[in-house]
Amino acid sequence: MAQATAARSGKERKRVVILGGGFGGINAALNLAKLPVDVTMVDRKNYHLFQPLLYQVALAVLSPADIAQPIRSLVRDHPNIDVLMDEAVGFDLAEQRVHLKTGVELEYDYLVIATGSTHSYFGKDEWAKLAPGLKTVEDATEIRRRVLLAFELAEREMMEKGTHPALNFVIIGGGPTGVELAGAISDIAKLYMSKDFRHIDPSMAQVLILEGSPNILGAYPPDLQRKAGEQLNALGVRYRTGAHVTDVQPGYVMVGDERIDAVVTLWAAGVQASPLGKLLGVETDRRGCVLVDGYLNPPGHPEIFICGDLAHVEQDGKQVPGVAQPAMQMGRYAAKRIGRLIAADLGSDGSGKDESFRYFDKGDMATIGRKAAVANIQWPFKAHWSGFPAWMTWLVVHIFFLIGFRNRLSVFRQWAWTYLTFSDGARLITGSQELPGWKVEDDPVVEHATRPLDIASPKT
């Protein structure tokens, strides 16, 4: 352990381990690039994901590669940043070590944990297969598969039997993700599917949001909640609030005693923090988020920084939300704080006196289909916008965020082009060709009963 001892005595460069390559982790790494530290970034995936646009991958507007970029290429120009595709599974806080899944052990002087959050099915993990959520690229392609396949199966059944199950898409959860998915499904059904199918009428697809709380977009001010509701209704999307889903089954969901048929059910309801918070052995909230002090440290561990969704940060009496902006700011803050601590350690500064983290809230936005959005703007002025102006703001802000990408120009060009023209390229169904609850058992392969197909009357 000569190496570790030397490192801690300050004679060697300090070692920083960053767990998680999302917004928090990447921003921490890039802000550590110019400091005299050796950084090791650990992520299960080899890419950073621009998650605010993930729903557009799910709805076949964008390809995964449009919004994901290898972590190695993001840090390519910074020789002090190492990247390791692995996963933390335990900590030794006294010895300042992280245990990784493959058995590798990393020693650190400073540790940044930014492993985010995942879905919570509130203990009903069996719902996960029936109602996928939207956190990863794999989730997105699975949602895409189900939504597109529903139209294909309906067309097939219509040609065969002259009827098909109602194209009801049920989205559990009316937060930003639920609203964005709902708007996008509705738009796609009306704008694109209608041109592509001859027998079914895709514009008859119904999208229903089931929200358990009294309001959709609960984090938004009431006037924007109302506007969002109006814009959803204008798209034909229905929503019900105070609707607690009590069961999810293949082909339907239950709200109390009421059965609601669903060809595709999507989950946008609960999230829980990455399990690493609990593995740390420090205090967490009910979602597993780590309670941190003003420096983003868990109590008693000034060398550990919790960033992004995993951090429970209270500010002005409410919790900082688990979205991209605060995660990016926390990552930057942690890097700068580490820089100041090292400087102090070397004797060139004070004794750790520092500004505490403060979330600078520029506002929130949620899109509703292709031409509308709600924007709760906090900076550079305060305003509540909705409709087309909010949607334009959404576009501009995402250009701004994408600037952080290495290939930002091309990513944006591809994205804007694909999004504005709704190009066909990404509408691929990969993987299985079955949907839970679609009664293929009605159509045994062995039977071959004479059911000539009605191809005489295409809807043209």
104 versus 128: smaller Cβ distance to its own copies: 104
Cis peptide before 380 (omega within 30 of 0): yes
Q: Is the Cβ of residue 66 or residue 211 nearer to its own copies in the bound state? A: 66
Using the structure block, give the residue that is written with the tokens 């006196």.
353
Contact call for residues 349 and 340 (beta carbons, < 8 A):
yes
**Closest CA relative to residue 366, chosen from 384, 388, 383, 390:** 390
CA–CA separation, 31 and 139 (whole Å): 30
Strand blocks (E) in 139-277: 168-172, 206-210, 238-240, 245-249, 252-255, 258-261, 264-267, 270-273
Rounded to whole angstroms, the Cα distance separating 109 from 4 reads: 9
Smallest distance from its own copies to CB 314, Å: 35
Shortest distance, CB of residue 121 to its own copies, whole angstroms? 22
Is 356 or 410 the residue whose CB approaches its own copies more closely? Answer: 410
In the bound state with its own copies, the residue whose beta carbon lies nearer, of 380 and 452, is 452
Give whichever of 19 and 210 is closer to its own copies, judged by the CB atom: 19
| 61 neighbors 422 (Cβ within 8 angstroms) | yes
Closer Cβ to its own copies, 149 or 342, answer by number:
149
- Shortest reach from residue 373's CB to its own copies, in Å: 25
Q: Give the nearest distance from C-beta 422 to its own copies in angstroms.
A: 10
Considering only CA atoms, which of 101, 105, 205 is closest in space to residue 153?
205
Task: Return the C-alpha torsion angle 135, 137, 139, 141, nearest 10.
Answer: 150
Q: Which two tokens stand for residue 364?
A: 């929130």
Coil, helix or strand at residue 326: helix
Half-sphere exposure at residue 67, Cβ-oriented, CA atoms within 13 angstroms: 28
Q: Catalytic pick from 107, 155, 180, 211?
A: 180
Q: Is 303 a catalytic residue?
A: no
Report in angstroms how near the CB of residue 42 gets to its own copies at its nearest: 10
Closest distance of CB 195 from its own copies, Å: 6
Phi, psi of 358, rounded to the nearest 5 degrees: -135, 125
| Contact between 33 and 81 (Cβ < 8 Å) | yes
CB 167 within 8 A of CB 263: yes
Of the pair 96, 225, the CB lying nearest its own copies is at 96
Q: How far is the CB of 32 from its own copies (least distance, A)?
A: 14
Nearer to its own copies, 152 or 345 (CB): 152
The backbone torsions φ and ψ at residue 46, rounded to the nearest 5 degrees and listed phi first, read -95, 10
CB of 96 to its own copies, least distance (A): 11
Q: Determine contact, residues 278/183, Cβ cutoff 8 Å.
A: no
Cβ atoms 296, 333 nearer than 8 A: yes
The rounded distance, in Å, linking the Cα atoms of 244 and 225 is 19
Between CA 26 and CA 48 the distance in angstroms is 8
**Active site positions, annotated:** 180
